[in-house]
Amino acid sequence: MPSTPAAKAPASYGRRTATPAQSAPQPEAATQRQCLLVDDSRMIRKVARQIVEARGYAVSESENGEEALSKCKIAMPDLIILDWDMPIMTGIEFLAELRALNSDKRPKVVFCTTHSSVTDIHQAVEVGADEYVTKPFNEASLVAKLQNIGAA
């Protein structure tokens, strides 16, 4: 029985063909801001992740300063939210080494810690912190700090 032209399947049947709009690179992915959360507390990382992802950041995490420094040497983020007290390398040690790196990119750094004395805050700023928020924090307080440094 001869087939009719209507019975023939199109050449692309079963295969997805990309339209020019689909195959073009997505500009948002190339320009999406990157945030590195550095804290040994999984709960703090989870809360901070929700806040910064809502502001358009792609987020990666590290549990200590040494791991975070390795990540920064590979790809420097735009923003780092950093704890002070961590195993292996403290936040202060990490930040001192980060600022000593020869990099074209200087990430904004927000300390997020229980250390709240004037001396602690002064030390963090001296080492290179851009902003400081004490734990426990909420979304409004962290967002205010991000806005202060142009990272919200």
pLDDT, tens digit (0-9, with 9 covering 90-100), for 42-101? 999 999 999 999 999 999 999 999 999 999 999 999 999 999 999 999 999 999 999 999
> For the structural domain made of 30-137, what CATH number should be given?
3.40.50.2300
At residue 133, the pLDDT reads: 96
Q: How far is CA 50 from the centre of its chain?
A: 11
pLDDT digits (tens, 9 = 90+) for 7-44: 554 444 444 444 444 444 444 555 899 999 999 999 99
Domain coordinates in residue numbering, the chain: 30-137
Is the pLDDT at 140 greater than 60? The verdict is yes
Closest CA to 147 of 133, 127, 126: 133
First to last CA, the chain: 68
* Site of tokens 């923003």: 79
At residue 12, the pLDDT reads: 43
* Site of tokens 């980060």: 98
85-to-69, 76, 139 alpha-carbon distances in Å = 15, 22, 21
Omega of the bond leading into 136 within 30 degrees of 0 (cis)? yes
